[in-house]
Every structure is written in C-alpha cells, then in structure tokens.
Structure 1
Amino acid sequence: MRLGGRIAAAAEVLDDMAARRRPVADALKDWGLSHRFAGSGDRSAIGNLVYDVLRRRRSLEARMGSHVHADLVYGAVLDSGTTADALTAAVEGDRFAPPLPSADRIGAFLAEVRSPDHEPAALADVPDWLAAPLEASLGKDWIEEARALSARPPLDLRANLLKASRDEVAAELAPLGAQPSRLSPWGLRIDPIQGDGRHPNVQVERGFQTGLFEIQDEGSQLAALLAGAEPGQRILDYCAGAGGKTLALAAASGNQADMHAFDADRQRLAPIWDRLARAGATAMVHQPRDDLSGLLGAMDLVVVDAPCTGSGTWRRRPDAKWRLTEAQLRKRMGEQDHVLEQASRFVAGGGRLAYITCSVLREENAARIESFLATRSGWRVVDAEAIWSERLPEASRAYRAERIQSGSVLTLTPRLSGTDGFFFALLTRDAT
C-alpha cells in the first residue's frame, strides 16, 4: 500500500472506533480481517498511525483546526518528520488518499507545535475534565508529564533470575536491540518504534518459550523490587491477575518464599499456571471461591496491585484516555478502598502491605493511603525513598515523592523514570 492508502485505512479505523465506541485493538483486528490484501508491514504502519492519533488527538485537533480523522492522520504523518512537500508528493495522484488539508492549514499546523493559545488540556493531550486532577497530581510540570504519556513506549523485559542472569538474556536478545534498562537490575529494554516499524515478536524467541525472560514494564519491575520479597517470607499477591508480579516476587526471593497468588477474577487469573510453569516459579494459586481464612493475619508481605484507571499506561492504551470518565474514576476509588481493606486482613503483626497502581492520579494513589490510615490504627507509612536508596543504590531519584505521616510514597512517570506511570506505597502493621 502507498502512503495515501495507509492514511485512508487509519482514518477508517478511527471512524469505526468513534461510530461503534469500541477499543482500538478490536477495530484494527476487524480492519485486518476485512482487508486481507494488506501485508504485515501495511498493518503495522496503519496501527502506528492510529495509535499516534489517539495518543495526541487533542493537540492534533487544535493545531489542524479540524476534528476529521483523515486530517488528524495527516497531522500525525507530518509530526513523524515527513515534510509538507514530501507528503504532497506522496499522495498526489493517489486515488485512495483522503483529500489533503489545504496548504494554509498545513502551514498553520506546522507553525503551532506548542501554541500558547491552546487550552491546557489540548497541550497535554487529555480530556478537559482531567486537566485539574492531573495538575493536582503532578504539579506545575503536569502538562509536560502528560505529554510524555503520549509518546510511543519501549518494550520492556524482565530477566528471570531463577533461570538466567540479565547479561545472559541480553546476549541472546542482542540481535533485537535489547539493552540493560536504566533503573531495574532485572530489566532489558527495546527502544520505542520508529516510523513505520514494529517491535519484534519476542514471544517466539527461545528465551521466552523456556522462561528466561518475561514481558514486564520497568515500572512494574521496580514496584516488585521495592516491595522486598525475601527468602522464608509468607507472601500474598492479592490482585495477582495474570501473575506478572507473582513471578517477579518469586524470582526476587530465589523461589524461597512461601508464595501465594489470588485474584477475584477467574479470567484474569487463568494464564498464571502456564506462566509459573514456564518460569520455574513456585506459588500456591487461589481462585475466587477458595477459602483463604488460613492466610488471615499470617502474611509477612501482602502486595496489592489495585484495579485502577490505568492512566499510567496511556502510551500503550491511548484509547482508554478518551473513554475514561469521572464516574469511572470514582468507581475505581471505591474498589481500591475495598481491596485495601480486604488485603490488610492478611497482614501479620509486624508485616507489610505494598499498595501499587499503574495510575498517576493522586485520587487513586496517595489519597487512598490517607483514607485507609484515617480509619485504622496500628499502621504506618514506610519511607519509600529510603527503600529506593537501599535497594537501588546506583539509581538516580527518578520519581516524584510525597510525604505521608513520617514516611513517603513514590510515583514513577515516563518523563521522570522512563517507565509507565506507577505508584508505590509500603505500609507496615504494628507488631502484636
């Protein structure tokens, strides 16, 4: 396909999403099934254009002065480094290309990369209602922080230390461009996609199939590392999902912890058994109907990767940014309070509770910790900055810290840490 056809296809996918209110992955899949003539390179390029528009929709609309999806795709192409002359030449005479925006509109688009006349939400590429919560959460640099959440993400991997060292995995994946990550001692990174490219399918690699590495964002790796799994501990991953942090915690303990994994959603939990077997990790998996009473008040560490809006993952799931509503945020806050209350019952005296989200919104993060502490005695916030310095002595302070009581909590962001957005807090329960 020529560029004009790819632009038309991307606009068609965006139109379909808007008309049917459906996730981007579903729309792209259906487009591919109904256009089987398109090769893998075409599908990858079209997907990149669609995702680029979704990541920066508000700023593209403001600069282009249009809400028409084809115009926004043209804007994304121009933002990728294609000159106006090159774009015009590429689509001229292409009967599949949508009408090209006027020369004046293109000139205005290129001149208004960061116009001070644009609304803050447009500069930040977020819905209007999120401007105030993001500013309250991320401070004076909130627009820059939000813009970093609109960039293309890297592909992060975690070396499974139960089977191989990071250097061994790095050597095996060197042809794919994998390099040691900046912060996590377990991590490897493949840089963000450039142009029409795509990330390699690492799941077909021998190392993945034999459990030498897992796909896991560096921020998630750091949250597991800061939680502090140690040999001999009794550990419960309370919102285990597919088991990413369960695997990381098991590896951190050298497979010497009494590891338990639970999730209230059977479907989310389903992949965990295959992943444990592949990684050579040991954990007792508890399904929703299982009796957990024997674990109450008995855990040295309980990890809560709480349900959240996923605002920290907008680089990877940009369509979620535009679907999020204030009502959904309030619902997530209620779920987080409930999960924290339920999970806290499993912590032994002197034990710890790690609260983690992939959100950058304070309402879901520090505010939930404050709400938990306001109604319970015998709990205190650990100094997460001190834990960072202890466990990552060579790493820079690539986080946003907030003091709560005598301790601190941390927020990671793409702008500061190069990771997805993550929140980490560690509470300890008084010994009884």
Structure 2
Amino acid sequence: MKPAAHASAAIEILTDLEAKKRPVADALKDWGLTHRFAGSKDRAQIASLIYDVLRKRSSLGFRMGAETPRALVLGALAFTRGISADDLAAQFADSPHAPDALSDAERKALNSSTLEGAPAFVRGDYPQWLDAHLQRIFGEDRADEGAALSERAPLDLRVNLLKGTREEALAELSHLHPEPTPHSPLGIRIPLLADGRGPPVQSEPAFLKGLVEVQDEGSQIASLIAQAKPGEQVIDLCAGGGGKTLALSAGMENKGQIFAHDRDLRRLAPLHERAERAGVRNLQIRSPRGKEDVLKDLEGKADLVLVDAPCTGAGTWRRNPDAKWRMRPGSLEIRQKEQDAVLGDAARLVKPGGRLVYITCSLLAEENEDRLQAFRAAHPGFRPVPIREALSAAGLGALDPYANADGSGLLLTPRRSGTDGFFVAVLRQ
C-alpha cells in the first residue's frame, strides 16, 4: 500500500470510530480482519496515522476548519508529519486508492492556518469540559501541559537488578541506540522509529531473559519512591499486570514477601509469566475469589501497601489518545468512589509505623489531593510524609521541583519531567 492508501484507510477507520464510539484498538482490529490484503507494516502505518490524529484532534480540526475524518487526516499529515500541500496532492494523484484531490479550501488551510485565537482546550487538545479541572492544577499553563500530553510517548525500559545492571543492559541493546533516562537510575530510553513506533524490544534477548521490562520512567520513579526494602512485607493492592510489583520485588532483592492483588482476575494473568522471566521468588499472587477476603490474614501486617489506584488515566494520553475523547464527567465520579474504596481497604493492611503509597496516572486534583484529604479525614492515624523527604530517602532529590503546591505529593507530567503523568504521595501509620 502507498502512503495515500494509508490515508484513505485511516479516514475509513476514523469514520467508523465516529459512528460507533468505541476504542480505537477494536476498530483497527476489525478493519484488519476485513482487509486481509494489508500487511502488518501497512496496518502499523495506518494505526500510527490514526493515533497522530487522535492525539491532536482539536487543534487539527481548528486549523482545518472542520473535524471530519478527512480533514483530521490531512491535518495530521501536514502539521504533525510535515508533508506539504503540494506533496500531498502529488501523492494522491499517484495512487488509485487515494482520497479525493485537495480542495482549494483544504489547500489554504494546509498552507496558512495557525492556532491563533484558539481557546486553551483546543491548543491543549483535551475535552472542553476538562478545562476547569486542568486550570485548577496548571492555571495558564494548562494548554502547554495538554499539548505535551498530545505528543508521542517515548519507549522506556526498566533494568531488572535481579538479572543485571543498567550498563549491561545498555551494552546488550546498543544496536537500538539506547540512552539512560534522565531521572530514574534504572531506566533506559529507546529512540522511536520514523513512524513513531518503538522497535520490537519484546523480541530482544535482553527482554526475553528478564534483564529489562517495558515501563515508563514515571512509573519507575513511583516504584522507587515506595522504597520497598529487603525483608519487608509488601502488598501491591492494585497490581494489574504487575509492572510495579516486579519493580518492588527487585528493590527487595527477593528477600521478604510481596503480595500482588487486583480485583480483576484477568489483569493479574500476565504476572505469572512476567515474574518467572524476571527471576522473582518472593511473590505471592492473591487472586480474587468471589466474596472471600483473600487479604484478611494480612491485616495490620504490611510494612508497605502500594495503591496504584484505578483512575481516569489522564496522565497517559500520549499512549492512549482515544481515551481522552471518550472520557466523560461521570467516569471521573466513578473513579473517585473507587479510589476512596481502595484507600479504605489499604488502611486496614498497614501495620503501625508502616507506610501507604498512593499513586495515580492522573493529573486531576479530584483524583489526587482531594482523595488524600478525604482519606485522612476518615483515617486520622495516617500522616502525610512530605514528598521532598520521601524523594531524598529514595535518592531522587533532583525531582524536588516537581512537588505539588503544598508539598504533599509529586506531580510528574510530560512537559515538566518528560514522563507520563503520575501523582505519588506517601503516608505513614
């Protein structure tokens, strides 16, 4: 398939998304099943173009004067990928499967439109209803923060110290031109390919033997702040696929015990294989069993409870750009209730003198500071640990500038720290 045919396919899939309001991964899968002539490289190119559209849908639509699938694809090709109107016209004329020829209005938009006069939510490429929420955190910088969340995300790896050192991992992956991440002492950043995708690192020997795991630098930092120590009793209460579980276990040097739990049994499934590959030996997976309290025997015994809470995922829009456009006010309210519930569940597991680490991949105060304030009102025995104190203890004092306004938590964002968006706070019993 030629690039013009990729553009036609992207327009078709975006039209389907607009009509059915479903996740982009589902639309891409269905398109591939009905267009089997398209090879894997073609499907990857089409997906990359669609994600470029979704990252910047509002600003592309503003500049093009329309948010139709065609206008958005043309805008992404011109404003994100730097293809001129003349080159687009030539590509379209050269392919029988290309979109229709450019109109005069489209040429004018591609050649001369800007974002001058656009409101913050357009310049920042986020839903209008979120503007007040982001203004509360970022003020006049909210458009710039949103724009950073609409860029392509880097590919970060975490070195598994149970299997080797960062120097060894850098050497093994040298053909991918890796660099140490700027903040995490365990991180490696791999350059993206020209189309915005990462190389297939999960097929690399370094990954297959457990020396590295795919994990954003922000997630690595959150795990380091938790300071899981050898010999401790640790509970990862919302473990999901286990990325932070594995990071905590490595910090514990396989000494002590780490318990991984998640309310969704399906999310825990990958952890079994991942733990084996990583060489983790101090892990117990506590899978849900109906209404049974599978953590009851751990009440008041944990040195550390990590709560990587369910959230709106507003900090991960670089990786999941369709999620921001499907997000609704009602989903924020649901997540707040879930966060209160999981924090309450965590409180009963922390032993006197133990600590609770609260993490979200959200930037919204309603999911972060507000939830901690509500938790402390209900559990006055917990006191916040100043985040700069926690950073110093973890050897991450250079991250002090990213503390939130009152110093109670760390707020990472793509614009500030070059990571996904994360909020991290530490409380002690």
Cα deviation 1:46-85 (Å, max 9, x = unaligned): 1111001100001111110112101110110001111222
Cα deviation 1:277-322 (Å, max 9, x = unaligned): 1111121111112532211011111000000001111111111001
AA aligned to 2:337 is G
Which is worse superposed, 379-388 or 336-345? 379-388
Contact 1:398/1:412, CA 8 A, preserved across alignment: no
Matched residues in 2 for 1:162 and 1:347: separation?
A: 27
Residue aligning to 1:89: 90
* C-alpha deviation, 1:113, in angstroms: 3.1
Contact 1:64/1:106, CA 8 A, preserved across alignment: no
Residue aligning to 1:205: 204
TM-score, normalised to structure 2, is 0.95
Matched residues in 1 for 2:182 and 2:111: separation?
A: 34
Does 2:420 match 1:420? Answer: yes
Aligned-residue Cα RMSD (Å) equals 1.6
Does 2:408 match 1:408? Answer: yes
**SS of corresponding position for 1:115:** coil
Matched residues in 2 for 1:59 and 1:400: separation?
A: 30
Residue aligning to 1:357: 360
Matched residues in 2 for 1:398 and 1:89: separation?
A: 49
**SS of corresponding position for 2:351:** strand
Residue aligning to 1:311: 314
Cα deviation 1:383-429 (Å, max 9, x = unaligned): 112322342357354524231xxx52111000111111001000011
AA aligned to 1:340 is L
Contact 1:314/1:320, CA 8 A, preserved across alignment: yes
Matches within 5 A, 1:279-290: 279-281=278-280, 282-289=282-289
AA aligned to 1:179 is E
Contact 2:152/2:196, CA 8 A, preserved across alignment: no
Paired-residue identity, %: 49
Contact 1:152/1:193, CA 8 A, preserved across alignment: no
**SS of corresponding position for 1:271:** helix
**SS of corresponding position for 1:267:** helix
Matched residues in 2 for 1:320 and 1:14: separation?
A: 14
Contact 1:59/1:123, CA 8 A, preserved across alignment: yes
Does 2:111 match 1:102? Answer: no
Which is worse superposed, 278-287 or 391-400? 391-400
Which is worse superposed, 157-166 or 170-179? 170-179
TM-score, normalised to structure 1, is 0.94
Matched residues in 2 for 1:257 and 1:12: separation?
A: 54
CA distance 1:127–1:193, shift in 2 (3 Å): farther
Which is worse superposed, 346-355 or 10-19? 10-19
Matches within 5 A, 1:260-339: 260-281=259-280, 282-289=282-289, 291-339=294-342
Matched residues in 2 for 1:279 and 1:295: separation?
A: 25
**SS of corresponding position for 2:156:** strand
Unpaired runs of 5+ residues, structure 2, are: none
Residue aligning to 1:126: 126
* C-alpha deviation, 1:177, in angstroms: 2.4
Residue aligning to 2:24: 24
Matches within 5 A, 1:138-157: 138-157=138-157
CA distance 1:400–1:283, shift in 2 (3 Å): same
Residue aligning to 1:46: 46
Contact 1:354/1:426, CA 8 A, preserved across alignment: yes
AA aligned to 2:255 is Q
Contact 1:220/1:245, CA 8 A, preserved across alignment: yes
Contact 1:304/1:354, CA 8 A, preserved across alignment: yes
Alignment size in residue pairs: 424
AA aligned to 1:279 is A
CA distance 1:415–1:398, shift in 2 (3 Å): farther
Cα deviation 1:242-274 (Å, max 9, x = unaligned): 111110000011111321111111111111111
* C-alpha deviation, 1:134, in angstroms: 1.0
Unpaired runs of 5+ residues, structure 1, are: none
